[in-house]
Amino acid sequence: MKKTLVAVAAMAAVTGAMAEVTISGFVDQAYNTVRSTTGANGRPDTAGATGTAGVTTTKTSLGSNAIGQDALQFGVSEDLGNGITATANINFIGSVTNPGTVSTDAGSGIGLKGAFGSFGLGQGYSLVWKTAASSDASGWGTGVGSVHNVGVGGNGGGIGYTLPEFVPGLTVGVEKGLGQVDGTRNGNYDGWGVTYTVGAFMASYSGGRYQAKGTAQTPSPTAADGVANAAAGIATGSYGAAEWATSASVGNIKATDEAITAGARSAITAIAVSYDFGMIKLFGGYNSNNSGGHTNQTANSSTYGLKLPLGAFTVGIAQSSSNHRNAAGNSSTASGIRLLTTYSFTKRTQAYFQYGTAKIDSGANTQNSGASASGTGFGLTHSF
């Protein structure tokens, strides 16, 4: 629910124009427990080092989990006439229980919309990320169990344009990520996406091309890491924080890890479909990531699941799997399952329970085969 203020800008004294300002937000907090077990070569204690196989660690934490991120957003829109509206947002993303981690990476920017479509500049999630998220029946949170995130990580600064809706239900967009050289978002990214919605059916396809400027790599995890998110994926340069390091991970265990080379090119795609039968909604999706640090470095993942409304309760469950191949041709696979049950007190307040489990399966690259993790989360959310 948005709280709306009507503000008269300084120029309104001259033009008579009025700007509508909104304040909105979201809080998600849960008590989380993650139980991780090391695989064949154990958890790395330092970069490149090995640990002891079969060691189980249980960690608890308080923080956001399966539904979303803690956020506070200030938005403004102004009618410029001739069917054109100016919009601007500053979206502060942080954590109620981890102060000092506030960013504006998602949903902050400025733009124009009208009969020509919509155009924006600022921070936001990529179209590939949005497609992948729409394929997950258990939500797109940080809880244990989803291994369907290869090639879709991240957000960042860029330019986006959405075409007018020439065909009812058809949305087409393009985006440009601007390269930086700070060792994190240090490459250029070009993306596109098409989504078609008609009645109960939705289909979405998005893709992107990335060229690295530097040689940033995901740091190896340490035994002192916080709560382990059981996930298998690639930390990508799709506006991401560490590009193209193949990182099939479960509970802080990495199956493979390799650096990129300057100028390396990568391609990412995501496909999502869903159909709402009323009593049940079905989901499916596929992601792929090709090249990266080496021309034969690849990863792909798939998911399928369902969401079942039961009065005030909603139950979503998704199964996912992924495969990762490094430059040497060695591969590893991961699989996971996640359950999310929510109870709506009102449209703005929910309670939820999340459970998930994931593991790295044996393959040609068996360094960490058998590594696994499971986790639970009991939480509350409120939007305003």
Give the architecture-level CATH label for domain 38-64+121-383.
Answer: Beta Barrel (2.40)
Residue with tokens 């991780």: 36
Predicted pLDDT of residue 365: 44
| Neighbouring C-beta atoms of residue 1, cutoff 10 Å | 11
Residue with tokens 């139950």: 315
Amino acid identity of residue 222, one-letter, is: T
Q: Which of the 8 DSSP states describes residue 369?
A: T
Contact 243, 237 (CB under 8 A): yes
Rounded (10°) CA dihedral 235, 237, 240, 245: 20
Dihedral class, residue 205 (left if φ above 0, else alpha if ψ from -120 to 50, else beta): beta
Predicted pLDDT of residue 172: 96
* CA atoms of 50 and 129, how far apart (whole Å): 33
Kindly list the domain boundaries of the chain, sorted by start residue.
Answer: 38-64+121-383
Predicted pLDDT of residue 137: 94
Contacts of 64 (CB under 8 A, 6+ apart): 28, 29, 30, 70, 95, 96, 141, 142, 379
* CA atoms of 318 and 326, how far apart (whole Å): 27
Two structure tokens written together for 18: 């009025």
Nearest partner of 327 among 299, 304, 350, judged by Cα: 299
Reported pTM: 0.80
Spell out the per-residue pLDDT of the chain, length 384, in tens: 455 554 444 444 444 556 788 999 999 999 988 887 776 655 433 334 456 677 788 888 888 766 778 889 999 999 999 999 999 988 888 877 777 677 776 778 899 999 999 998 887 778 888 898 899 999 877 777 887 876 665 556 678 899 999 999 999 999 887 655 444 445 677 889 999 999 999 999 998 877 655 444 333 222 222 222 222 222 222 222 222 333 333 433 333 344 555 556 677 889 999 999 999 999 999 988 776 544 556 778 899 999 999 999 999 999 998 877 766 666 777 888 999 999 999 999 999 999 988 887 755 444 556 778 888 999 999 999
Predicted pLDDT of residue 375: 87
* CA atoms of 303 and 287, how far apart (whole Å): 9
What residue spans of the chain are helical by DSSP H?
A: 12-15, 127-133
Residue with tokens 């009593």: 279
Predicted pLDDT of residue 96: 79
Contact 212, 262 (CB under 8 A): yes
Please provide the DSSP assignment of 294-348 as one string. Answer: STT-EEEEEEEEEEEEETTEEEEEEEEEEEEE-TTS-EEEEEEEEEEEEEESSSS
User: 204 has which bridge partners?
Assistant: 195, 272
